Amino acid sequence: MALDSPEGGAAGIIVSAAPSDLSPEGRQPAAIGPWQLALRRLRRNYVTLFFLALLVILVLMCLLAPVYSAHIAGVGPNTNNITGTVSVNGTQQNIVSLSGVPIGPTWGAHYLLGADTNGRDLAVRLLYGGRTSLLIGAVATAVIMILGTLVGLLAGYFRGVVDFILRPLMELIWSFPVVILGVALGTALALGGIGPVKGNSLFIPAFIIGVVYVPYLGKPIRGEVLRLREQDFIDAARVQGMGPWRIMFSEILPNVSTTIIVFLPLILANSILLEAYLSFLGAGVQAPNASWGTLISDGLTYIQTTPTYSLIPGAMLVLTVLSVNVVGDGVRDALDPRAQVRVRN
Amino acid sequence: MKRYVRPLGVSLLCGAVVTVAACSSSTTSSGSSPASSSGSSSGSSSSAQAGGTITIDSGTPPLSADQALDFTTQGNELYSVVNTPLLTFQRGVQGVAGAKIIPGLAKALPTVSNGGKTYTFFLRPGLHYSNGTAIKASDETYALERDIKIPWQAASFVSAYIAGGTAYAGGKAKTISGITTDDATGKIVVNLAAPFAPIEDIFALAGTAPVPPSTPMKNQANTGTVGDGPYMWSSITPNQKYTLVQNPKFDVPGIPKGHAATIVYQVNANVTANAEQVLQNQADVFDPGDTIPASLLQQVQTTAKDRYAAIPTNSSYYWWFNVNQKPFNNIYAREAVLAALDDRALSRLDSGFLQPDCHLIPPGIAGGSTGATCPYHNANAAPNMTEAKTLMQKSGMIGQPVTVYGEERTPRRQWLDYYTSVLNSIGFKATEKVVNSSVYFTTIGAPSLKPQTGFGDWVQDFPNPWDFMQLFAGNAGSSLNYGYVNDAHYNTTLNTLFQQQPDQVVSQWTALDQYAVSKGYYAAYGHEEFPKFYSDRLNFTTGVMSTEYQTDLTSLELK
Amino acid sequence: MTGFITRRLASAVLLLFATSVVVFGIFEVIPSYNPARAIAGRAATAATVAEISQKFGFDKPVWIQYGNTMKLIFTGQIIDYQDNLNVVSQFVHRFSVTLSLVVPAAIIWMAVAILLGSISALRAGGWLDRGLMVAAITGVSIPVFLLAAALLYLFAFRLPWFPNTGYTPFGTDPAQWAYHLVLPWLSIAVLSIGFYSRVLRSNALDVINQDFVRTARAKGLTERQVFTRHVLRNALMPIVTLFGLDFATLLGGAALVTETVFNLPGIGQYEATAIGQLDVPPIMVGAMFTAFFVVLFSALSDVVYALLDPRIRITG
Amino acid sequence: MSEQLLEIEDLEVSFATEDGVLRAVSGVSFTVSRGETVAIVGESGSGKSVTVMTLMGLTRSPNARFAGTARLNGVDLISASEDKLEAIRGKEIAMIFQDPISALSPVHRVGAQIAEQIRAHEKISKAAALDRAIELMGRVGIPNARARARSYPHEFSGGMRQRVMIAMALSLSPSVLIADEPTTALDVTIQAQILDEIRQLTAESDTGVIFVTHDLGVVADIADRVLVMYAGRLVEQGTVDEIFYDPQHPYTWGLLGSVPRVDLEPPRRLPAIPGAPPSLVRPPEGCPFQPRCPHAFDRCRELPPLAPRLPDAGHLDRCWLTPDDKRVLRETGGRIGLTEGAAS
């Protein structure tokens, strides 16, 4: 498209009109979707990556518990060996002394972190305990994800009677003293179990934590759904003849997915913590199974002579929960549109 | 009376946490500052100081200061010096042989008539309670009625054996018909439903001590009751602090008056801290109802060996089997467990405070025997796993699921873990069920539960083999005989033996015990020792740790 | 204002009712739970057990039992099954201990959090800011009982600066009182300091970008004046509600665990014991007590929020 | 010419961002003299707000870079220390902001906010400061000021709030007043009242005013001189009449062209300047307006200097076209504007 310059003046100038390709630097950066942006930010965030790696290592260690117990320690998590002995740099030592004091860490293959009162290998119990804690945390989180989202969706979308029932219910559970409710339920169910589920199955603590933390996700999602419900694209969907269920799951759910993803790590971290609380108070994982909470609790008696008994499972618990929290933070910052642009000058 | 130690707070409490090496200040304020005794070296008790304050640190409080409700060893230590019953066990007798029964408020031992069904007591004349009111014969009736109404944790001793007891308990009668009293002569006549020799022991329990009629028919947890004993209650903060002071009006001959002016019984659930306190002479007595934590034991045995000793007691620990249900309805299955059980391991779990033995009657009581005569292996030696495996083959019960019940308190939970692993090692599919200590026995006692196997213990009420063997009598009911054992030979032998004085039928009691072991009705594994652990302020030799009273408060005196 | 109060009161009553029903329900469901046996003690015969359940009304239908229990609670006569102690007087008697634990702890936690939060907001990106970020995340990742155990191990055993456990009432010896409570206060406060300072920091950063803060600086106020009068005042408002709720739930959660580990005879310890023993009355009273505080504090924080922010009128 | 109040020499402001260094203001110089009202116009993103905010020291942050000077009564505002600036802000140079709704503190009473500015610079009691604030509110036309001083900003209308801002800004009769689009958020009728208010108050105390706006109507109404900014640079500077009647820079034509004229019959489609402002991180070579300028030719690859090209030395522009070409090219459809046809 030539430009015929007006009367005389400078020589006729042929200029391509499209401004954008005039000079390469002038172009705007190619637009990228929120997910790629988030991923790009995440890759940049070294702290998050470090803790992500740490989390993976911790989880792997716990998953490899059977390998460690079979090939290295040679004993199961519950094998008592009270009257046995173990060789510590040459000399045979009682695993449990005559007066009942268990041996401290030998830093060798057998009884790496020492024994507990029943002569069980603490390192093996630590890994199996980790598996239990992570399993309960994961199952509880799954329960919360499903129940929480469902309750949030139903209460937010249907409002009216449904909301009238669900909201005060969430309010009740939310204001109920979590520990008391959890411990009371735990103690009660550990005795009788529910229906087919036996008293000491791991699903009881997981179920309790799940129920207790539903409002943690339910309330924010309900808020989001209430807000989204008013937006035009929902009316548009309704006009197209979509039923309420389809609207909820195909329209609203994707929009609250960022909230869910942001809350996922928070809930996982808190579920693991609450399991530790319950087990610490004797209402979570039941004997002879172990979890980090029970190990810390058992170790308190010997904190004076062998602090590692309590503090190592404590450290594992804190590192795991910390990693989940940091990764959660990283994910939230990456996804959060108002992310503080961290400038490296 | 089982050693009913109730943990204050949840399971973790009993080893709550951490001792303080150099204990800066006493945890809960312990009254007068515990200055260590001036100069006088331990042992030499030149001039025993009269008066002064003695503090007892206990990990668990009694259920109540009211002797008509409480039936714990902790409670008995305290109110046995406040409420003297008609009869009483002689004070100052150390060791398992146990004390003889001597007259308390009664002038003399009761005269027995009507074929052992009637016991007649006469009150000593002119006795007064610590608040000055005179003691009348009818007070005894009121006291026994109180036992049933509140109820006393051992109320069945009164309601089951004294005539009219059950009627009164059921509310059908206004008073207990079996008891008639005459205040003028101080005469008390007790008629039994059936002859029952141990009734004399029951009238030596503080729970049956007379109380003034003004005492309310409700648990007096905050004030305790008034009695005629060497001491009386000064102040009580339930579950925290109990204080006794000497009773100036104490006038019962044959019972020592006690030396200390004030006795403070302090509750701190952190048993480790209590042991540390006594070690540092911040407190005077470590309550024998608690176990010295393993982590501290060596230090105690070395630095305080002249003021510490493990005193054997008449107590027994056993695993019971439900003989009406698989797998333990099969004798071979039961015997296999006896063969595989390593009593030494169980002893280590109890910091070595346990004397291995497979018999129920403790050695200190007539009819008791040692671990040598145990079937399959000596209780002090390694278990006989090969025999256990063959017995399991014969029983055909390999792979059977078993639920094991136990208490959550240390060392009981550790015993439970060990016992479950033994059951698994010989072929069962065993899982554990840990129950809170204070509701354990009432839980497994519930008829609806029908548990397969679990933990049991018993501490002597009085030095009579019947007190132990009654646990497996056919008519003992599910709240004691958890395994529903109902052996004809066992029942008839028990009924004949308990009529007679124990020291005449020693060999028959031993034979009955051995018979029950051979039948595998219980897998007993030992008798426990209680710690006698004082500060160096107290005279260790004159202090008495008795099977009836544990710490005999009247025997405590400052150096 | 009255509308607000009646609405809050109604929700409080509803909540307390619901809490009591939930707790009562939990223990009715357990198959082998039998309070009569617990009271009767170990060697009880069937007769005594039956007599007790008749006397306590355990044989009556569930909802009558519930009615009786509630009547007993509100007339202050309810006794617990385990120790036969009057539950209400136990709570009243022990509440001073719990208060002396949670109130100073809350003060420490808020004061330090505001200080750290402000500094890190002012020096966004500085080393303190990053350090605080780590402290905040670690703070929420450590369970109270582990911190309590570690503190006890470090400062009561390794360095005997503080007593091992136990409690001395304020009346008898204030110095000893504080001396025994330092570690428990820290156990509760330290974990929340991290979280609260981060919340304050992010609130402050939001407010700092607001126009009126720019106006304040344009008015020539010093940096400190701008921060304290304008930024902090607005940043603290959301924290008030957060604090209200957390403080109330503290009573039912962290206080319970801390009292258990440090053996402080507060209501938390009493509740923990009761839960262990399946002793319903104290658990019910405890749960209702805590739920009541949650409602009370959420109402209180709304009122305080309205006072702080004139834009919000308590609608009738 | 009254002596210069404020002299700004080669002001440079750039921010380091994730995508690179953003040059918000490059080489801006101008002066403001006593009693004179200078208007700065330009599209949003042209750097006009950044310029005035920098004068107040409100753009200082770890990733900001400054260059050049801005001397006010002998003090260089750009390099001044924070406490020195704190003494000057509000006293010698004050500012009114665009959005009155969010510019006032929501939780403080209006009277107190004005009093706060007074007490920040003068040692007087709260009561005395409040009285002066109330008196000021009266002068800016707020009815029964004494009562209204106790209410909160959200209880005021947009216009009233802007009056409070004015009262606050002029409370210590500063020598320079910066008004950053004060009327944009208001509706037209209120806009006129506020402009009168500002004109009347600044005239009384002979204050120098910098008026930032993108509304040429306002410029015509209040400004003495006009600066046209584009992509962080000054592209034209002159008196109001020179800019409106003899604009030299095509961007100025575009601005003038996009103002709907009452005296002409309305065009089919409101004329607008095609394209979008260039990226300030990777600015195009030469004249920044080149990509959108229909009259661009090869010479424009080289950045033209801001220089006087007309007899009146005060009228500067930054365009290579000769003055004669400019006068011809700016005529389109009987009025000044950017040639419609050529650009499509």
A26 DSSP assignment: G
Distance of CA B38 to the CA centre of its chain: 36
Q: Is the pLDDT of residue D168 over 70?
A: yes
CB A73 within 8 A of CB A124: yes
Chain B interface includes A302 (CB < 8 A): yes
Cα D111 from Cα D126, distance rounded (Å) = 11
- Do the chains contact at B28 and C168, CB–CB below 8 Å? yes
Closest alpha carbon within chain A to D284: A26
> Which of C210, C219, C220 is the closest to D87 by Cβ?
C220
- Verify whether the Cβ–Cβ distance A341 to D17 is below 8 Å: yes
pLDDT band per the 50, 70, 90 thresholds, residue D212: very high
In this predicted model, which residue has the larger pLDDT, D168 or A199?
A: D168
Enumerate neighbours of D (3 or more CB pairs within 8 A): A, C
Name chain B's partners: 3 or more CB pairs within 8 A: A, C
Sign of CA dihedral C215, C218, C223, C228: negative
Check: CB of residue D301 under 8 Å from CB of residue D285.
yes
pLDDT tens-digit readout, B215-230: 998 888 889 999 999 9
pLDDT band at A31 (very low <50, low <70, confident <90, very high): low
Q: Least CA distance to B3: which residue of chain C?
A: C42
SS3 B464: coil
A343·D329 Cβ contact <8 A: no
Side chain identity at D275, as an amino acid letter?
G
C80 contacts: CB under 8 Å, gap ≥ 6: C87, C90, C274, C279, C281, C282
Q: Does A192 touch chain B (CB under 8 A)?
A: no
Measured distance CA(B125)–CA(B320) in Å, rounded: 49
Element (H, E) at A196: none
* Per-residue model confidence (pLDDT) at position B97: 67
Of residues A187, A280, A311, nearest to C276 (C-beta): A187
- DSSP secondary structure code for residue C33 in this structure: -
- Highest average pLDDT, of B498-507, C50-59, D67-76, comes from D67-76
CB contact under 8 A, A188 and C138: no
Distance CA C96, CA B110 (A): 52
Q: Which residues of A touch D22 (CB under 8 A)?
A: none
Which of B272, B15, B146 lies closest to A280, judged by CA?
B15
| CA–CA dist C246, A184 (Å, integer) | 21
A343 CB neighbours in chain D (<8 A) are 16-18, 62-63
Rounded Cα distance between B328 and B472, Å, is 15
Residue of B114, B109, B266 lying closest to B196 (CA atoms): B114
Which among B11, B20, B148 has CB closest to C160? B20
**Between vectors from CA D88 to CA D83 and to CA D91, what angle results, nearest 5°?**
135
Each residue's pLDDT tens digit, D107-153: 889 999 999 999 989 999 999 999 999 999 998 888 988 899 999 98
Chain D neighbors of A26, CB-CB under 8 A: 278-279, 282, 284, 291
Q: Do chains B and D touch (3 or more CB pairs under 8 A)?
A: no
CB-nearest to D328 from A6, A17, A19 is: A6
B403 touches chain C (CB under 8 A): no
Separation of alpha carbons C151 and C181, rounded Å: 12
Phi-psi region of B262 (alpha: psi -120 to 50; beta: other; left: phi over 0): beta
Q: Measure CB to CB from residue D58 to each of C217, C230, C309 and give the nearest one.
A: C217
A236 domain-assigned:
yes
* CB of B167 less than 8 A from some CB of C: no
Average confidence (pLDDT) over B7-23: 29
Q: Flag whether pLDDT at B123 surpasses 70.
A: yes
Kindly state the greatest CA–CA separation across chain D: 67
Decide the pairing of beta strands B187-191 and B179-182: antiparallel
User: Could you say which residues from 510 to 549 on chain B have a Cβ atom under 8 Å away from some Cβ of chain C?
Assistant: none
Other Cβ atoms within 10 Å of C178 Cβ, number: 14
Q: Find chain B residues with C-beta within 8 A of A280's C-beta.
A: 12
Confidence of residue A29 (pLDDT cuts 50, 70, 90): low
Query: Does residue B10 have a pLDDT over 70?
Result: no
Per-residue model confidence (pLDDT) at position B214 = 92
Interface contact D297-A15, CB threshold 8 A: yes
Q: Is A55 within a domain? A: no
Rg for chain A, CA atoms, rounded? 29
Contact B221 C40 (CB under 8 A): no
Nearest to C214 among D58, D108, D117 (CB): D58
When CB atoms are compared, the residue of C39, C47, C278 closest to B169 is C47
For residue A117, the chain B residues in CB contact (below 8 A) are 294, 349, 410-411, 414
Whole-number pLDDT of residue B31: 31
- Chosen for mutation from D84, D117, D171 (greatest number of chain C CBs closer than 10 Å) is D117
pLDDT-derived band of residue A343, with 50, 70 and 90 as boundaries? very low
**Cβ–Cβ of A22/D290 closer than 8 Å?**
yes
* Angular region, A340: left φ>0, alpha ψ -120 to 50, beta rest: beta
The domain that holds A201 is classified in CATH as: 1.10.3720.10
pLDDT greater at residue D123 or residue C170: D123
Is A283 a member of any domain?
yes
User: Which residue ranges make up each domain of chain B?
Assistant: 315-530
How confident is residue D210, by pLDDT bands cut at 50, 70 and 90? very high
Helix C2-29 to helix A160-175 angle (10° resolution) is 70
What pLDDT, in 10s, does the model give residues D239-275?
999 888 888 888 888 888 887 777 777 777 777 777 7
Residues 6+ apart with CB under 8 A from B426: B336, B337, B340, B385, B388, B389, B392
Interchain CB distance below 8 Å, A200 and B431: yes
Q: What percent of chain B has pLDDT over 70?
A: 91
More confident site: A229 or A59: A59
Does the domain at residues B315-530 carry the CATH identifier 3.10.105.10? Answer: yes
Q: CA of A19 to nearest chain D CA: how many angstroms apart? A: 5
- Mean pLDDT along residues C15-20: 83
Nearest to A100 among B349, B421, B422 (CB): B349
Q: Which of the two residues, C116 and D271, has the higher pLDDT score?
A: C116
Residue B140's pLDDT band (boundaries 50, 70, 90)? very high
Residue B12 has pLDDT above 50, yes or no: no
Whether C and B touch (3+ CB pairs < 8 Å), yes or no: yes
Among the partner-chain residues A177, A273, A326, the one whose CB lies closest to the CB of C143 is: A273
Number of structural domains (chain A) is 1
Domain annotation covers residue A209: yes
Given the DSSP bridges, would you call strands B550-551 and B429-435 parallel, antiparallel or unpaired?
unpaired
Indicate the Cα dihedral angle C187, C188, C192, C197, nearest 10°.
Answer: -80
Instruction: Name the H helices within chain A.
Output: 34-44, 46-63, 65-67, 122-158, 160-175, 178-192, 203-212, 214-229, 232-239, 244-246, 253-280, 292-299, 308-335
Q: How far is A15 from chain D (nearest CA, A)?
A: 7
DSSP A68: I
Q: Is residue B27 within 8 Å of C164, Cβ to Cβ?
A: yes
D28-53 pLDDT, tens digit per residue, is: 999 998 889 999 998 888 888 899 99
pTM: 0.75
Q: State the first-to-last Cα distance of chain B, in angstroms, to the nearest integer.
A: 33
Residue A238: is its pLDDT beyond 60?
yes
Domain that holds residue A145: 127-335
Interface of B with A (CB under 8 A): 10-12, 14-19, 272, 293-298, 301, 342, 344-345, 348-352, 382, 408, 410-411, 413-414, 416-418, 420-422, 424, 431-436, 443
CB contact under 8 A, A25 and D292: no
Q: Which of B397-401, B495-499, C235-239 has the highest mean pLDDT?
A: B397-401
CB contact under 8 A, C40 and B151: yes
Nearest CA-CA distance, residue D295 and chain A, Å? 8
Q: State whether C253 and A179 contact (CB < 8 Å).
A: yes
Residue A70 covered by a domain: no
**Interchain pair D284, A10: CB under 8 A:** no
The pLDDT value recorded for residue C264 is: 85
* Strand, helix or coil for residue D89: strand
Cβ-defined contact of B348 to A198 (cutoff 8 Å): no
Q: Kindly report which listed range (B437-441, C18-22, C63-67, D322-326) carries the lowest average pLDDT score.
A: B437-441
Q: Is the pLDDT of residue D341 over 50?
A: no
Interchain CB contact of A180 with B (< 8 Å)? no
